[in-house]
Amino acid sequence: MGTGDSATIAIDKSTVVQVDVNHLEKAEGDDDPSLPIVDELVQMLPKKNGRPYLSLFVLTHPDTDHCRGFAELQKKVGIGELWFTPRVFTEYKGDLGDDARAFQTEAKRRVKATIDAKGTVPAGDRVRIIGYHEVLQESDYKGFPEARLTIPGNAVTEIDGADLSATFRAFVHAPFKDDIASERNDSCVGLQISLFDGEAVGRALLFGDLCYPTVKAIFDRSSEEDLKWNILLAPHHCSKSVMFWGESEDDEEVLQQDLLDVLEQAAQPDGYVVVSSHCIPEKNEPGDNPPHAIAKEQYEIIAPNGVLCTMEYPNSEDPTVMVFTMTASGLSLAGAATSTKAHDGASQLKSDIDAARGAPEPSRDRVGFGAAR
């Protein structure tokens, strides 16, 4: 799906989480290698009341390349719960694309439903707000239950009303209170997602479009256990702003080795850096948007198993879905050998996710991260 984020996490046979979405209509054409994400989700999701069902959708921030296709997803799929930052309430309409406005409208509806419920909230109305904001003190949001607000430094093991602590944990790293009013990228949800199979654990760091100051603050403030990663989704699609930084616009951007050192220390022996983007060029011109070649070079130094670009996996001529599976033996990369086009008939993504879920009994014997290309 080009340069944008779409990560699917299949926890068990009935619980699937989507972190961001970048559905491209052009991907529905025969000659485009991109994946029409919403179409694939409709095919692979479990059914609830006869309709495809997504237990949780997490929006890291309302940039188009992180929520493109949300309106279509909402029409075609039941969504049990939404996670988002209060930033989505305060954006001006002119700053948001159509899908971000659709998300904002649905987020506001669910917040009102949660306040009105004064107790148990049914699936389809559930929300969790990630972070801080004065907006929750305004009259429209007074009465929002503190139990549905999670600030950084806390973990969540419940999804859509179910306790999944035996198989799932989301540790909230960001946004920090000081970042809420900053640029949109600075206010991203930052998570460590952990999946468990008995004693085995696999972890992914999902930092949206965060840049050096916030990522460094995360590593300064958090415990060693909450920073470990088997998968690091390169923030902002392999942007150099994660490790090259100047304190002001007039300062020259210099390599921030301190962050690279702590990222390397947190990497597990089987760790991969995943870049969710178009093919990474050999070099960039000044002012180029991510992905940045110099960022890839730095990630290659610290990643135990190297850097994988979603539009280059396994090759740039015919990229396929990138799937990681979690078993009692640990986390591993499962290669996809055939095309994943929605119009091909049987969806490769569906078969890969089915494999990630494992055998019918018990349903948690195998869980997995899947980063759609």
Name all domains of the chain by residue range, CATH numbers in brackets.
7-371 (3.60.15)
Give pLDDT tens digits for 63-81: 999 999 999 999 999 999 9
Which residues have CB under 8 Å from 105's CB, separation 6+? none
pLDDT digits (tens, 9 = 90+) for 16-49: 999 999 998 765 556 777 888 999 999 999 999 9
> Per residue in 128-140, pLDDT tens?
999 887 777 777 7
Backbone angles phi, psi at 337, to 5 degrees: -100, -10
* pLDDT score for 344: 38
SS3 274: strand
How far, in Å, CA of 183 to CA of 97, rounded? Answer: 16
Chain segment 308-354, per-residue pLDDT in tens = 999 999 999 888 889 999 999 999 998 533 333 333 333 445 555 55
pLDDT tops 70 at residue 286: yes
**Quick one: which H or E segment has residue 51?**
strand 51-58
User: In the prediction, which pLDDT does 373 show?
Assistant: 37
Q: What is the pLDDT of residues 167-225, one digit of tens each?
A: 999 999 999 887 554 667 688 999 999 999 999 999 999 999 999 999 999 999 999 99
pLDDT digits (tens, 9 = 90+) for 98-122: 999 999 999 999 999 999 998 899 9
pLDDT of residue 187: 83
CA angle 348–357–53, rounded 5-degree value: 80
Q: What is the model's pLDDT at position 87?
A: 80
Q: How many CB atoms lie within 10 A of CB 78?
A: 17
* 190-197/21-22 β-pairing: unpaired
Question: pLDDT band at residue 254, thresholds of 50, 70 and 90?
Answer: very high
Average model confidence (pLDDT) across the chain: 87
Compute the distance between CA of residue 99 and CA of residue 246 in angstroms, rounded to an integer. 33
Contact between residue 206 and residue 60 where contact means Cβ atoms under 8 Å apart: yes
Report the C-alpha dihedral over residues 170, 151, 104, 49, rounded to 10 degrees: 40
The yes-or-no verdict on residue 258 having pLDDT over 90 is yes
DSSP state of 94: G
